[in-house]
């Protein structure tokens, strides 16, 4: 099981920013490429008022701040240079869908999709869309939102690939603003399967790939949950990637790079159930040789040793 | 808007220590100088029992610990070498003024002021005093304390410049020991103006410069609060600097360097309202190329690019 | 007072992993040796399902995970290479003794002791045992557990040295998962003495060395507690080391390297009461020049300057 893609954590939600310029990003794409990563996924194009590109839509409608740099343009250019596929992450209002009003989130994002496609659609690295609204349960009108947004992405862009990356409502589904790292009860396997079977059934024609995050459950539960995820996706004709998180959810400092042994266990579990490939959240903080967290560079080296063993 | 000064976070209250010796501090002053910083402000000369210099007053009266190094002497020498202005931050007992007994805090500090002036007053870099007791509201006898201490500093030292750096009781006024990063309600602009008009009126002859911290309010509130701060200070004849914090208050890890975009927004807001200059809390952890937080070095580079654009 | 030993924090409980391979560990042992460290103590050989070596006992009985690397073998080889004494830390189930069932913890560890001795007992660096179950009070059957495990270690290994490292139930005995860094009340000196006199009396023939952790009390209490610890240990014929923690318990980020001044104060307090030597938790994160926390390298340099002054 190889890591073939990574999120780009801009706009970051909860991971302190590294303050990289183009030189550092260029170098990071090289580091990614050297270990076989061929896909970069913008985690979100905007969060509340913070934007990755100067969006007329969001600056006018949401009074968002004009960003000093057009990161979408830069990431697309670097993707072309390094021959990577770029997936564009939709806008996350941080409010229109969290409290139930999914319609407003969808409507706004449809304008974003159109704007983005007209601005950047010509660039050859633009290969897919990431529906950035993360969920773990069949909440409110989540099916309608995923389907509506997925269909709109496809309609606008000539059927480019669409991706979601939900999480499991497991024992480690704990706010990063709480000090605890786990809780007593998570969702049962059965309830998880029930919820996601319904969701997959509703979105199967709009979403091509699902990449469940693998960090919210205990290591003992990995095989059970990953197997169910794979089987459900297969049943509804959705491709399965695993989003193998490279940060450690078990530590008081939220968050630093994961211990290699844990990442290895998660990759092997994904392999056992037949996932197509792994992606990760995310390379640049938690796995890059130039990360501000020096543990990340060592993780990179451990992963390279693992790759060499696979050959 | 340029950053012309930085606090020196010794004694640190809540930011882990970097364990630098003279060589590292010397190098850091060079880095500061290279981006135009000409003023260093000791955040406090002591906190509870921890001291920056071997103070007979505090060792005898407060049973403070004798420090292994005389940091005040060292900072003054490095300031002379690098042609920086040094501001001495008063002692913070951590108890005599927090719970209301402002008199004891003032009396103690008057002894400190005299001791310090007699020890270090001859050094050419000694250019000002920083009244280190931070507040956000018209609490207790805060006016008497600021005025009394400011006047004593001036009387003892031949009218050297005096500085305070209060904070706004905004939505991000959250203890660093709590995991949350914001709260629902902050002080209203009107109440803030009321409190600080009274305070400024009371301290106008004793305090020369006010440098409000800019990190406790939302980015949407920057212009309103900074404008009021500037107008009030103008009205009472107090000079206005902005204390543009270089750490990020929005992240679970408390605290790492701020995202450049945020710092840029705050500097521009200060420029719009006509602040004289910026200072920051603080260079050595959050902006220095040799900081233990590598994000800081990248922030330094982004800031240098901004400086180059200003020319 | 010199630091002559360090824990090896594998399996880590709460400190994020550095992801080092053999090359980095080899280099770290060199760094240790350069400042006079001659003893390395494995903090625990396993914690819950995570193991440092492929233990048939724990894999079968506890369904523990087979580790990708045999760290015990590696640490023993590096200890031989660098002429260090290696102490093996027992298994911590994280459950059998915390909730009272001390017997199960003891029984399991007796199997571990036998397994480990048969696997690694021939290696010349294997010099002692560390009973890894940390406690601060006379809880449950703690005496029986310490004595039973200490005796078994000795019986199996031809009377190798046994070590414990308890903590003081002081004002900084706060969960690393809480944001607070201190509480109002800690154990009284008298109660601490009462508890530990009883414990020492019960374990005096099974445990050779006690190394109390020095970080849970205020700096003002250091002399009182360290003196009592030394006197009690002397009375019962147990040798006294001090476990001088090199991480800072007073900061919101849990945990980064300690300020040198604080470590110096603790070492001097240990010297005043006549401790035999210091060990630390732990070198590789908090004091190593190659630590991911760069403050650690500066602490290393400050400590080297101190060593040079001692000569």
**Residue C130: how many CB atoms within 10 A of its CB?**
24
User: If you write DSSP's letter for every residue of C256-298 in order, what string do you get?
Assistant: -BPPHHHHHHHHHHHHHTT-SEEEES-HHHHT-TT-SSHHHHH
Sequence-separated (6 or more) residues with CB below 8 Å from residue A271: A1
Q: Evaluate if residue C304 carries a pLDDT over 90.
A: yes
| Residue-wise pLDDT tens digits, A50-75 | 999 999 999 999 999 999 999 999 99
Closest C-alpha to B303, from B29, B48, B32: B32
pLDDT score of A180: 86
According to the model, what pLDDT value does residue C152 have? 98
Q: How far is C252 from chain B (nearest CA, A)?
A: 6
Q: In this predicted model, what pLDDT tens digit does every residue of B149-185 receive, in sequence order?
A: 999 999 999 999 999 999 999 999 998 888 788 888 8
pLDDT over 90 (residue B134) = yes
Contact residues, chain B to chain C, C-beta under 8 Å: 12, 14-21, 24, 49-50, 65, 67-68, 176-179, 253-255, 291-292
Residue B100, burial from CB neighbour count under 10 angstroms (0-12, 13-18, 19+): exposed
On average, the pLDDT of chain C sits at: 96
Return the bridge partners of C50, or none: C47
Alpha-carbon distance of C194 to C261, in angstroms, equals 31
CB C19 within 8 A of CB A298: yes
At residue B257, the pLDDT reads 98
Q: Do C19 and A253 touch (CB under 8 A)?
A: no
Residue A254 CA to residue A235 CA, distance in Å, equals: 36
Q: Is the pLDDT of residue C281 over 80?
A: yes
* Cα torsion angle, B44, B49, B55, B57, sign: positive
Interface residue ranges in chain A relative to chain C, Cβ cutoff 8 Å: 179-181, 219-220, 248, 251-253, 256-261, 264-265, 293-295, 298-299, 301-302, 305
Q: Which residue numbers in chain A have pLDDT < 50?
A: none
Which residues in C lie closer than 8 A to residue B176 (C-beta atoms)? Answer: 252
Q: Write out the two tokens for B294.
A: 């590598």
- Pull the structure tokens for residue C307: 């060593």
Cα–Cα distances in angstroms (integers) from residue B67 to residues A87, B51, B59, B186, C295, in the given order: 55, 6, 10, 39, 19
pLDDT grade for B110, boundaries at 50, 70 and 90:
very high
> What chains are in contact with B, requiring at least 3 Cβ pairs below 8 Å?
A, C
Cα C130 from Cα C209, distance rounded (Å):
10
What is residue A99's predicted lDDT score, i.e. its pLDDT? 73
| Confidence band of C99 (pLDDT split at 50, 70, 90) | confident
Q: pLDDT tier at C71 (50, 70, 90 boundaries)? A: very high
Does A248 sit within 8 Å of C21, measured CB to CB?
no
Beta strands A161-164; C161-164: pairing state: unpaired
Q: Which is nearest to C270 in space by CA: C283, C261, C279, C257?
A: C279
Radius of gyration of chain C, Cα coordinates, nearest whole angstrom: 18
Contact across the interface for A19 and B253, Cβ inside 8 Å: no
Looking at chain C, the number of H-run helices and the number of E-run strands are 10, 11
Residue B199, pLDDT score: 98
Residues of A with CB under 8 A from a CB of B: 12, 14-21, 24, 49-50, 65, 67-68, 176-179, 253-255, 291-292, 294
**Which chain C positions have a beta carbon within 8 Å of B255's beta carbon?**
252
With CA atoms as reference, report the closest residue to A82 among A24, A163, A45, A28.
A28
Burial class (CB in 10 A: 0-12, 13-18, 19+), A286: buried
Query: Taking the mean position of all CA atoms in its chain, how far away is CA A96?
Result: 20
- All chains having 3 or more CB pairs closer than 8 angstroms to chain A: B, C
Q: Give residue for tokens 């980095």.
A: C24
B46 pLDDT more than 80: yes
Note the pLDDT of residue B81. Answer: 98
CA atoms lying within 13 Å on the CB side of residue A4: 11
The predicted pLDDT at position A134 comes to: 93
Tens-digit pLDDT profile for residues B212-264: 999 999 999 999 999 999 999 999 999 999 999 999 999 999 999 999 999 99
pLDDT value, residue A311: 76
Tell whether the model's pLDDT for residue C215 goes beyond 80. yes
Q: What is the reported pLDDT for C97?
A: 82
CB pairs under 8 A between A and B: 61
Mean predicted lDDT score pLDDT of chain B: 96
Tokens of B41: 């402000």
Q: What are phi and psi of C222, to 5 degrees?
A: -55, -55
pLDDT of residue A97: 82
In whole angstroms, what is the distance from residue C16 CA to residue A259 CA?
7
C259 contacts on B by Cβ (under 8 Å): 12, 16-17, 19
* Element housing C198 (H / E): helix C189-203
CATH number, domain with residue A55: 3.20.20.80
The pLDDT tens digits of the residues spanning C111-163 come to 999 999 999 999 999 999 999 999 999 988 999 999 999 999 999 999 999 99
Is pLDDT above 80 for C309? yes
Q: How many domains does chain B have?
A: 1
Q: How confident is the model over C190-200, as a mean pLDDT?
A: 97
Contact B162, B208 (CB under 8 A): yes
Residue ranges of chain B whose CB lies within 8 Å of a chain A CB: 179-181, 219-220, 248, 251-253, 256-261, 264-265, 293-295, 298-299, 301-302, 305
State the pTM of this model. 0.97
Domain that holds residue A303: 3-310
pLDDT tens digits for range B114-126? 999 999 999 999 9
What tokens appear for B211 in the block? 């440098």
Residues in CB range of C233: below 8 A, 6 or more apart: C200, C210, C239, C240
| DSSP state, residue C132 | -
* Residue A229 φ/ψ, nearest 5 degrees: -60, -45
Whether B4 has a pLDDT exceeding 90, the answer reads yes
**Pairing of β B3-8 and β B277-280:** parallel
């Amino acid at each position: 099981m190889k890591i073939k893609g990574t999120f780009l954590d801009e706009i970051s939600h909860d991971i302190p920013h590294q303050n990289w310029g183009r030189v550092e990003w260029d170098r990071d794409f090289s580091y990614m490429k050297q270990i076989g990563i061929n896909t970069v996924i913008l985690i979100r194009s905007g969060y509340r008022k913070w934007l990755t590109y100067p969006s007329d839509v969001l600056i006018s409608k949401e009074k968002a701040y004009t960003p000093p740099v057009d990161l979408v343009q830069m990431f697309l250019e670097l993707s072309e240079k390094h021959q990577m596929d770029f997936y564009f992450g939709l806008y996350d209002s941080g409010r229109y869908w969290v409290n139930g009003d999914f319609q407003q989130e969808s409507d706004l994002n449809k304008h974003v999709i159109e704007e983005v496609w007209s601005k950047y659609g010509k660039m050859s690295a633009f290969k897919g869309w990431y529906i950035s609204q993360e969920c773990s349960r069949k909440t409110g009108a989540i099916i309608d939102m995923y389907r509506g947004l997925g269909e709109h992405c496809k309609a606008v862009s000539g059927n480019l690939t669409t991706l979601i990356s939900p999480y499991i409502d497991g024992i480690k589904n704990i706010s990063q603003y709480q000090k605890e790292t786990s809780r007593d009860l998570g969702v049962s396997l059965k309830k998880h399967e029930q919820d996601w079977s319904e969701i997959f059934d509703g979105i199967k024609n709009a979403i091509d790939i699902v990449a469940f995050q693998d960090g919210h459950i205990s290591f003992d539960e990995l095989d059970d949950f990953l197997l169910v995820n794979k089987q459900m996706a297969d049943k509804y004709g959705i491709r399965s990637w695993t989003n193998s998180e490279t940060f450690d959810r078990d530590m008081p400092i939220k968050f630093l790079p994961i211990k290699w042994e844990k990442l290895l266990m998660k990759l092997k579990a994904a392999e056992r159930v037949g996932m197509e490939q792994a992606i990760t959240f995310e390379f640049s903080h938690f796995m890059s040789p130039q990360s501000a967290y020096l543990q990340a560079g060592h993780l990179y080296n451990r992963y390279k040793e693992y790759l060499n063993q696979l050959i």
